[in-house]
Amino acid sequence: MPGLRIELAVAVARTLPWGVVGAAGAAGLLIAALSRTTGEAGDWLALPLLRAAILAFAMGLVFLLDDPARHTTSTVPTPRPVRTVLRVALVAPAVAAWWTVALLLVPSDIRPPVAALTLEAGAAFVLAVAGAVAVVRFSDLTRPGPPVAAGLLTTALLALLFWPGRWALFVPVEDDRWAAAHDRWAVLLAGAVVAGVVWATEPVRRWSLRRAGPR
């Protein structure tokens, strides 16, 4: 049995979009590294640059469940939830390593609070994957990445520009709403985890927009 598990892990690893995730990760690290070139402006640019880096990497993670062979692999003995969990587990160490490097690229004297930013990053990454899980669960798309990426970017921009101030998510460190904002990030993270787990299950019944024909 362990041999079968290893073979399954290897097979799934080969189908992961490492190129897209790697490109998004590289872009995010370049953004984070800009905090070293901003001089005196780095004090207030470090936080938005790290947030932009998080969004850039999350835009790559939305492609995690892209699988052109989805409709042929749906008949294999391994359930879809197991394949989904395996994809997430295989990429999780790379995500943790990426976040560590992104933080270290920001000089320690201007680095925002690590725990709070890690919460934001975790919520963004889980939301990205949960969005892909939802598209797979409720549609027949083999590449959920593009629509989820568009939705994630639109949501982030709306939250940044038009979200009510009393419920703000993106606040500066010195803002009195900092602690409350991260309480909301924690709720988002928990909700994304729950939604992702629920949506990852096999549907009891395949919903269709077609009306059933006469019997």
Closest CA relative to residue 36, chosen from 25, 24, 22, 50:
50
pLDDT at 211: 39
Does residue 126 belong to any structural domain of this protein? yes
Residue 31 maps to a domain? yes
Alpha helices by DSSP H, 62-170: 70-73, 80-105, 114-138, 145-161
In a domain, 207, yes or no: no
Q: Judge whether 209 lies within some domain.
A: no
Instruction: Please give the pLDDT value at position 150.
Output: 93
Q: How far apart are CA 182 and CA 161, in angstroms?
A: 18
For 57, the token pair is 């990497």
Provide the pLDDT for residue 214. Answer: 45
Inter-CA distances, 23 with 27, 28, 63, Å: 6, 9, 12
User: What pLDDT tens digit does each residue of the chain (215 aa) get?
Assistant: 455 467 777 777 888 889 999 999 999 999 999 988 876 676 789 999 999 999 999 999 999 988 775 545 544 556 777 888 889 999 999 999 999 999 999 999 899 999 999 999 999 999 999 999 999 888 888 788 899 999 999 998 888 887 777 788 999 999 999 999 999 999 999 999 999 999 988 654 444 434 344 44
User: Does the residue 215 lie in any domain?
Assistant: no
Neighbours of 210 (CB within 10 A): 5
- Residue 201, SS3 per DSSP: coil
Alpha-carbon span 71 to 49, nearest angstrom:
39
Q: Which domain holds residue 152?
A: 2-200
Give domain status of residue 211, yes or no.
no
Residue 12 lies in a domain: yes
In a domain? residue 156: yes
Domain count, the chain: 1
Dihedral (CA of 200, 133, 161, 120) sign: positive
Indicate the angle between helix axes 178-200 and 114-138, nearest 10 degrees.
30
CA torsion angle for 149, 150, 152, 156 (degrees, to 10)?
A: 140
